[in-house]
Structures are given as structure tokens and as C-alpha cells.
Structure 1
């Protein structure tokens, strides 16, 4: 059975987590360990937010980041942004990505968010199908300004 344990990442997971990010973008600059620890500590200050980690047979196989954003519209109800969705290449097509996204949405609802959203630069049919299968719909237009180039697929 392809059951995974999903939990918030801990400081002791940083090495495995940063290695997992290689499967998100192999060409991206790596975060050095000392900086990763500092960023992780700072991220922990974002109330309600989490870096979720999915473990299969104790191996980290999937992750995503959920940021809960305070909001002055919708009656002061927060919203959630989901980023850095990744599944280890050897563990794709087993439902792990869908499971981590469902956990991210559940976290958003538990924090009282009125919506959870994500953006992707991917044009891969399998990636887009994953997001739709996890309950996301393509209903907005996204824009961005970047300091670094868009990753190639």
C-alpha cells in the first residue's frame, strides 16, 4: 500500500528536504546548510504556516510549503499560498503529490483560510493534471516579476 505519513518538517529534516528540492529543479542554486537553518527558523515565525513533508517507509518523498497570509478583506479571513510542491522522481504517480496537496489544503482550512492557491510555471500535462486531481481549478490569471530566470522544464 502507498500510505505516507505527512507532518510538518523539523530542523532535523533540513538535509533531506533540501535534497528533495533537487527533484523540483535540478538546475536551481542550492541553499547552503547554514542558510537553510536560518531560513527554516525564520519561516517558523509565520503563524499557521508549515513546510509539509511526506514520508514513505521513513524516506522523504514529497513536500510542499503552505504560507498562511493575514488578510484585511473577506472579513479579515486569511488565505493560503502553496509553493515548492515536489515529489521525488522515483516516487511519482503513486498519489503522494495529491496526498501532500490535500494535507496543505486541510492545514489552510484548519487555519481558517477562505482559499488556498498555488501557481505553477509548468506546462507538463501530468503536473497540471495532478493539481486538478487534487481539487484545484485554473480560475485566475497569474502575473509575476522575477529577479532570476524562469526554470526550464
Structure 2
């Protein structure tokens, strides 16, 4: 893995990052279900305002090259320690293999533990061995089994 450029900045996404985040998500799920731009903008605004939800961006030369969403959830177990979920992890395809995703994920993990979370969870496609290796380098383990239930009529697409 080559090292990213020295000017890598990891920061919280804001109102002005809508187009950049949307472009990264298109790279993550090229065949995603369509939605009108107005709905996407409103959803993005709702995400930015949602308590405990943070979109992190990895930026090089003012270009967003990677992103993930961190959700910190209050919890009544474990001494009321919160837990975190990381979702929508993406590094722009032409920037992969440079350590950017690793630094972004480490920033998300550090933020979660800094917020008092007792664990950080994520799901990954069951057939995505490359992603599984990546997450294991960050210290994630497969100690639990993940389950999901999709809404009726939603047709998931396999990404490998």
C-alpha cells in the first residue's frame, strides 16, 4: 500500500459537500435506486442535522476522495455506554490502495471511542473478501453474525 499525499485532511462533511458525497456514493453503488435531486438534498440535510450521525470525508487538494457515515447511538446497557455503526464506506476507485480508507476509518473509530462508545460495528457484503481483509487490518473481527431485513419490494444488488 502506498502512502497518500501529505495533504490528506479528514473532516466532517457540511452543507457544501452534497455534490462530492453524492459522487462518492455513485462510485459505491453505481446501480443504486434513483431518487430526485430535491429528495437527495433534503435527505442529506436531514442526515447532517441528525443527532449522533456524522459523515466523515477524506479530502486531498480540496477533492473528496473517501467517505463514511458514523452513527453513535445512546444505549441503556453496558453502563449506558453508546455504540457506533459505520456505514457507506467508500474510497473513490482511482484513489484506492493508498491508505486513505484506512486513515478515514481510523478517524471514525477514534471519534466513536472518543464519544464513549464501547463498540463499533459495521456490515460488509458476505462475498467481499477484499473489504473483509481491509476491516480486519483495522482490528474488526467476525465475532458476531450480522442479519438484515430489507423492505418488501426492494431488490438488493450484489456488489463484489
| Within-5 A mapping of 1:91-102 | 91-102=95-106
For 2:114 and 2:157, the matched residues in 1 are separated by 33
Aligned to 1:101, the other structure's residue is in SS state: helix
Aligned residue for 1:149? 155
Change (3 A) 1:82 1:145: same
1:5 and 2:6 equivalent? Answer: no
Q: CA RMSD in A?
A: 1.5
Aligned residue for 2:43? 39
For 2:52 and 2:14, the matched residues in 1 are separated by 15
Q: Unaligned stretches of 5+ in structure 2?
A: none
For 2:22 and 2:84, the matched residues in 1 are separated by 22
Q: What per-residue deviation string (whole Å, max 9, x for no partner) do you get for residues 127-152 of structure 1?
A: 11111112211111011111222221
Q: Unaligned stretches of 5+ in structure 1?
A: none
1:24 and 2:28 equivalent? Answer: yes
For 2:43 and 2:124, the matched residues in 1 are separated by 23
For 1:31 and 1:50, the matched residues in 2 are separated by 22
Q: What per-residue deviation string (whole Å, max 9, x for no partner) do you get for residues 30-87 of structure 1?
A: 4433223322332233334300010122211100000011111111111000000001
Aligned residue for 1:90? 94
Aligned to 1:42, the other structure's residue is in SS state: helix
TM-score in terms of structure 2 length: 0.88
For 2:103 and 2:80, the matched residues in 1 are separated by 29
Count of equivalent residues: 153
Moved over 4 A (4+): none
Change (3 A) 1:32 1:107: farther
Higher deviation after alignment, 75-84 or 124-133: 124-133
| Cα contact 1:66–1:80 (8 A) shared by 2 | yes
1:70 and 2:74 equivalent? Answer: yes
TM-score in terms of structure 1 length: 0.92
Aligned residue for 1:116? 120
Aligned to 2:56, the other structure's residue is in SS state: strand
